[in-house]
Every structure is written in structure tokens, then in C-alpha cells.
Structure 1
């Protein structure tokens, strides 16, 4: 059995897969990609993942992309400890959570992260390279450079606030420590990177001010050895100060948008 993971340190999708692997205590060969340098668009990587995204998992000769699918595969292929509930109703609730990651939460997180912080990491020299790799990229990037005035930003930040509200409601309804009840599942694995991103942007404390159950969930999550191994160990010191500074600057405008 050989596992190879192509990933990036601060990618929320890659963080999710690393967390799943850590929960299973699975060793893997680490292939870290520098997304700002365009490693994900190199021919040798596109041969594995034609979409040019991270992560990609290779299990022996089986190649798999898409983080939600990868996590489901890991749990099916390596059954202990299980990360899906045995109860069909709880399993359905778990999949309800993971469904919204791909449909809404990832796009909203990408918009918020790039608008607030990450667009500052791109230099003019990188624009031509990115535009050639992804035609239309530069026009979208110009919108992201507008920060909280990016036309897509208000809907994105409200969607992430709804994510926190949905988590709070689930934790209250099921009266358990985890999102579907007593069992730690792929739902918790999936949401940990997105809540962490809000924390790094200095939005989390304000968004959970009256949602104490989510705050307690996040504290429980961060004490798990898997979180420390899969997320905290990989936090990039070049990213954290940027997110702290730019997120703190943006918070007053975020408050206005959430109150509107």
C-alpha cells in the first residue's frame, strides 16, 4: 500500500484531506505544490489532475482528485476508525454538510480570502503567466483587488456567516459535541479548514460572538492530535501575518455587511 498526496500547505481543500489522513493515522508521501509559482499547472501534474487543482491522492496506481471524494474514498478504503456514522439518518446529515462545501462554501471562501488577503501576494510579473494558464483570470483578479468592494464579496461573506449559523443550529439540535451528534465524522473534517480560515482572517471571534456552540466545537477540534498534525503544523508563516493585518482592516466593513 502506497499513498502519495499532492497538496499545498494553506489550501483548504488540501487541509481537509490531510486531516482525514491524520485521523486514520495513515502515512503518505508528501508532494507539496507552490500554487503561487504555478506548480499545479505544470505538465507533469496536469497529467495526474487535468483540472490543475490540489489536492490529488494517488493510492498505488489509483489517482483521485476532488477533496470531498478523496475523503469518502479514504474512509471506505481504510475503515478504522470510521469517519461516517453507522446510523443512516446521521450519515445523511453528514452528507448534507459536505454537499454544501463544494456547492457554496468553497467558492465563498475563495472569494473572501482572495479579496481580503491573497491578491496582495501576486506580483505584476505573475499576471501574464496566470492569464495564459487561465484565460479570463486577469479580469476576475481586478475585481478581487477591490477587496470588500468586490461586487461578489457581500454575498460571499454572508454565505460564510450562514455556514456558522448552520453549524450552531446543528450543534444545538443534535445536542452533541460534533456536527451530527456524538460521532466525529467527515462533516467535522470538512468544516475545520473553513472555520480556521475565518479565524486566520480575524473574522471568527466576531461571527461566533453569540454562537458559543461553534466556538466550543472549534476549541475541541484544535485540541485533536490530527488537527495539529494536518493543519497547524503546515500553517505558512508568510500567510498568517498578511491575513491578520488585512482581515483586521476589513472587519468593520464586514460587520456592516453582516448587519445589513
Structure 2
């Protein structure tokens, strides 16, 4: 059995896949695709994922893309221990949690990275967008806290799909200086989740990137046209609805943003 995850340690979508595999006890290798930062990915990676996005999972030569579909494949291929609750309603609940963090909280964290790491929109627009992002993250934290309720885990009594989906994004917000309120149930959940070996090992890979200098001066690379950020659906929506249309227009004019490639 050969399992490879096409990965970037900073991708929360890839992080949740690796956490799932580690929870299942499935051994895997990782590979970081070349050329992805400028929209020039090719070869085996694009054969596995023609959208040229991480993650992609290759199992015995069969490629799967889209992190949610990958999680479903992992659950089908290695059913024990199950990552989904037993009751249909609870299964739907954790899948809805995944959908919200994948398409809403991810977009806010990504937007903050655009502003802070890639230094787009300096001055008043950066201040306004950062303020709005902070309000949005705290709103999603409140929603997550309500979804957690009195449960130990989002899944219920056991760590699972809802938890591994949420933890990369909540950790991402913490990395931007926006943490769950001290003493809140969400803060307690996050502390417990980060102690799990599957999460701890995945977070350590993120820390290793930071310790090595991260991705260099990405803002300079962006300005030189050597890096292009992908503005896909929910990210573009966040930037526009939050007041950053000017940033999108400037990025398109400079050619340093990209969209999902057409399939051929």
C-alpha cells in the first residue's frame, strides 16, 4: 500500500487530510509540488489534481483531489476507527462544520495573510479590512462554540471529522493574533485538540516551515511577479464583500493573482 499526500504544510486543507490519516494510523509520504506558487504546477501532481491545488492524495496509483472528497475516501478505504459519528444527524452536523470552516473561516484567515504576509492594500484599506476580519473571526468562533455546546469534541465523545476539520482554521486564526476567549469552551477544546499526536505532528510541520524562514519575502516575490496567489470562489467573495475590491483590481492589473485553471 503506497499513500502520498501532495501537500504544503501551511495549507489547512492539507492539514486536515494528514490529521485524518494519522488518526487512522495510515502511513503516508508527503510531496510539495513545484511551480504551484506561480500557477506553473505540472507532472504527477497535476495528474492527481488537475485544479493544481493541494492537497491531492494518491493511493496505489489512484489520485483523489478536494480535501472533503479525500476525507470521504479515507473513511471508505480505512473505516476503522471511524471519524464520523454514528447518527445521521450528527454526521450531517460535523459535515456542515467542515463546510463553514472550509469556505468562510478559511477565507478570512487567507485574507489576513494577503494583508500581512503579502502586504496588499497598505494604509487605511488594510486597517479597515483587518478590523472587519477580526469581527468576522470572532463571529465564527461564537458559532463554533454554539456547535460545540456541552460536547467534549465536535464529534461528541470522540475526536473526529468535525474536530480535525476545525482545528487547522482555528489555529490559523490564532496565528493571526485572534484566539478564542480564555476560559471559553472553544479555547479548552483547542488546547485538548492540539495535544493529540495527530494534530501535534501536523502543527509541528507548520512550525518547521516558520523556523526555516517560511517562504521568504513573499511580498517581494509577489511584487516581482514570481508568486501569484489563488483567488478562488470564497476568497474572492471575502475580499470583495469586506471592502477589498481595489486589491483585486490591482492584483489583476499586476498579474499577481490567479484563478483555478481550466481543465484540459
Q: TM-score range by the shorter chain?
A: 0.7 to 0.9
Q: Which moved more, 1:22-31 or 1:147-156?
A: 147-156
* Contact 1:5-1:57 at 8 Å conserved across structures: yes
Task: State the secondary structure of the residue aligned to 1:50.
Answer: coil
Query: Does 2:143 correspond to 1:186?
Result: no
For the structure 1 residues 4 and 216, does the alpha-carbon distance in structure 2 shift closer, same or farther, using more than 3 Å as the test?
Answer: same
Q: Give per-residue Cα distances to partners, 1:182-221, cap 9 Å, x unaligned.
A: 23221100111111111222221xxx22661011001101
TM-score (norm 1): 0.73
TM-score by length of 2: 0.72
C-alpha distance in 2 between matches for 1:190 and 1:26: 18
Question: Where does the alignment leave 5 or more consecutive residues of structure 1 unmatched?
Answer: 121-143, 243-256
The equivalent of 1:209 in structure 2 is: 181
Tell me the SS of whatever aligns to 1:58: strand
| Deviation digits for residues 132-187 of structure 1 (CA, Å, limit 9, x no counterpart) | xxxxxxxxxxxx34377247555544332222111111222xx1111142232211
Aligned-pair CA distance for 1:85: 0.4
Counterpart selection for 2:193 from 207, 218, 221? 221
* Stretches of structure 2 lacking an aligned partner (at least 5 in a row): 218-241, 243-264
Structure with bigger helix share is 1
User: Is the CA contact (8 Å cut-off) linking 1:19 and 1:230 kept in structure 2?
Assistant: yes
- Aligned twin of 1:170: 147
Provide Cα deviations, 1:97-122, integer angstroms capped at 9, x if missing partner.
112133322222211222122x05xx
Instruction: Determine if the alignment matches structure 1 residue 93 to structure 2 residue 121.
Output: no
Aligned pairs for 1:226-241 (under 5 A) are: 226-235=198-207, 236=209, 237=211, 238-239=213-214
- For 1:167 and 1:147, the matched residues in 2 are separated by 32
Partner of 1:146: 122
Is contact 1:115–1:147 with CA below 8 Å preserved after alignment?
Answer: no
Whole-angstrom CA distance in 2 between matches of 1:83 and 1:197: 22
Q: Distance in 1 between matches of 2:13 and 2:196?
A: 19
SS state of the match for residue 30, structure 2? strand
Aligned partners of 1:116 and 1:147 also within 8 Å: no
Relative to structure 1, the CA distance from residue 3 to residue 214 in structure 2 (aligned partners, 3 Å threshold; closer, same or farther) is same
Distance 1:89 1:13 in 2: 24
Q: Report the equivalent of 1:46.
A: 46
Aligned partner of 1:198 in structure 2 is: 173
Map of 1:161 onto structure 2: 138
Per-residue deviation, 1:78: 0.5
Q: CA RMSD in A?
A: 2.7
The residue that corresponds to 1:63 in the other structure is 63
Q: Per-residue CA shift, 1:86-106, capped at 9, x if unaligned?
A: 111211111111121333222
SS at match of 1:47: helix
